[in-house]
Amino acid sequence: MLPNIPHTDFKRVIIIGAGFGGLALAREIAKREDLQVVLIDRNNYHQFQPLFYQVAMAGIEPSSISFPLRKVFQSKKNVHIRITEVHSVNPERKSIQTDLGEITFDYLVIATGASTNYFGMKEIEERAIPMKTVSEALALRNRILQNFEDALSVDNDDQREGLMSVVVVGGGPTGVELSGTLAEMRHFILPKDYPELDFKSMQIHLLEGSKDLLGVMSPEASAKSRKYLEDMGVIIHTEQVVTGFDGKYVTTKQGLRLRSDNLVWAAGVKANPLNGLNPEVIVRGGRIKVDEYNRVQGYDNIFALGDVASMTEGKWENGHPQLAQPAIQQGKALARNVWRVMDGKKAIPFVYKDLGSMATVGRNRAVVDLPFWKFQGFFAWLTWMFVHLMSIIGVKNRIMTLINWIWSYATYDQSLRLILRSKTIAQIVDKEEKNTEVV
């Protein structure tokens, strides 16, 4: 196969990854018609990661937080999208190697993001449920709902408790938000769906290796989120480091042993650098060391941004937080610098503007840390909803998400509790052949 990207007299910029940073960069530099932009991703859509947990808990549809890349760039003839896997970069040949073949570049931007970090624990990697993509969020939803179906048929309390109980590892925003949503489902929704089950036996455990939840936020936010979760019946274990999961029991380094068939892993991420770069530029967490212009150290025409980039700036000695805002800001700043250099001007060093952090714990409960104000409760919950709603790409997606939120709030219900199993074409063909043979 060949990528079949037309050759032009314009400089070619390849952007690998259509996450927050890559998409922000592509949308900005695509405004210049004297550049050829090649956007590469393994999916043909952008994913709004902060709301993955709501897809997993049947709160919103996957399509509401996903947006087709080709729709974003419909009017941009200088943007070429290729859906493929990138394996390596060859700096000497100024090219990347993909499943579609070799693609050359004048400038390369690596925005490959981060994936789940299991810290080398193979047993947990094989059995735990991650939540870093829409597909994984759907898999978690299927798993949780199928377990309740199975719990109706088992004949002993131990099996039933294992199927119904959930252990969430990671006390960051994802772990806190997921635990709160599970607690609300246990109280308002699941008893109506499964009246034969006793939900007193459903335990929700949240494990965190440090002493505080939401460690990246203020002490007020950490304490308040803990109180919210405990009031909702979530069992919180801090200073507990998970070391094993055999499919039935979760064990920690400190000796804790919890019965559950379901381990949701939200405990950390690791960057996805490309093969072919000088190993010396790969630093802690797999991130790529860049200068204040997002240029990979030692290369003039290769850049990195977002979760995969490690830029030392001010108090961010180990790189900026692996969140959406730093990626978006870096993407836009790099685009402006591309324009400045093309116009014969000097590039401007990147400076991260911390806009704050927030997390929701459930209905009417959230915590918000702004640079000038920290608050919690109902107004924080409204603020969280507004910010996330406006950050979703596409008017239709925003409307659909808002409708789902209003419906859930008014009815104490979520109408998307569907178990959707994928079936490959090969499986369908094989089944049809077998049916034909029987006939």
* Catalytic residue IDs: 177
Tell the burial category of 385 from Cβ atoms under 10 Å away from its Cβ (0-12, 13-18, 19+): middle
HSE of 424, CA atoms in CB hemisphere, 13 A: 3
Residue given tokens 């801090």 in the structure block: 238
User: How far is 124 from 119, CA to CA, in rounded Å?
Assistant: 9
**Residue 221, token pair as written in the block:** 């936010």
**Residue 413, token pair as written in the block:** 């219900």
Residue type, 192: K
Q: How far is CA 224 from CA 98, 159, 185, 369, 374, in A?
A: 47, 34, 21, 12, 11
Whether the CB-CB separation of 176 and 229 falls below 8 Å is answered with yes
Whether the CB-CB separation of 376 and 221 falls below 8 Å is answered with yes
**Residue 3, token pair as written in the block:** 């990528």
User: How far is 161 from 269, CA to CA, in rounded Å?
Assistant: 30
Residue type, 86: V
**Residue 297, token pair as written in the block:** 């150290």
Tell the burial category of 120 from Cβ atoms under 10 Å away from its Cβ (0-12, 13-18, 19+): exposed
User: How far is 239 from 180, CA to CA, in rounded Å?
Assistant: 20
**Residue 317, token pair as written in the block:** 């000695």
Report DSSP letters for 209-245, one per residue: SSSSSSTTS-HHHHHHHHHHHHHTTPEEEES--EEEE
Report which of 47, 18, 53 is spatially closest to residue 137, judged by C-alpha positions. Answer: 53
How many Å is the maximal CA-CA distance in the chain?
75
